[in-house]
Amino acid sequence: MSNHLYGYLLAVLLLFLSGCTSLTKYPVYVEDGVAINGYDVVAYFVENAPVKGSEQFTSEYGEVLWRFSSADNQAKFEDEPTQYLPQYGGYCAYAMSHGFVVDTVPEAFSVINGNLYLNYSLGVRETWLEDTDRFIEEANRQWVKKLAK
């Protein structure tokens, strides 16, 4: 079994063991009241890297707390938040393409056509990158279904 398939199967198993994430409670991936593990969504675009946000630089958007690594990044987000929001609420883009809601890790990211996509693991990201056009199309369709429930 390939590492990519193993990573995906592990993500699906974790989803069911955790009792599934509730989209009605959190349309954005939130842990301890903070979006996407407290990482700075703007940094993914300006530094092309995951950068931990600070409690000093926070903003509330969509009833969710977002953290930033600098006042400049916080201001950029506050000026145009939708430009920086991760797709599918910050849940795993590859899993969403298969209809699953799975958490993510900050290091497994990609910025494609000006959009931020996060994945469950680096292995899952490798699979995601093999055919992003198809996976994005499927994930978009699945996300709409999830939000309609």
pLDDT tens profile 70-128 = 999 999 999 999 999 999 999 999 999 999 999 999 999 999 999 999 999 999 999 99
Closest CA to 147 of 67, 62, 81, 65: 62
Identity of the amino acid at 8: Y
Give residue 17's pLDDT band: very low, low, confident or very high (50, 70, 90). Answer: very low
* Stretch 60-71: mean pLDDT: 96
pLDDT value of residue 78: 98
User: What integer best gives the mean pLDDT of the chain?
Assistant: 87
pTM value > 0.75: yes
Tell me the Ramachandran region of residue 88: left when phi exceeds 0, alpha when psi lies from -120 to 50, beta otherwise.
left
How far is Cα 83 from Cα 110, in angstroms, rounded to an integer?
15
pLDDT digits (tens, 9 = 90+) for 113-142: 999 999 999 999 999 999 999 999 999 999
pLDDT value of residue 148: 86
Judge contact between 67 and 96, C-beta under 8 A.
no
* Sequence ranges of the domains in the chain: 1-26+86-149, 30-83
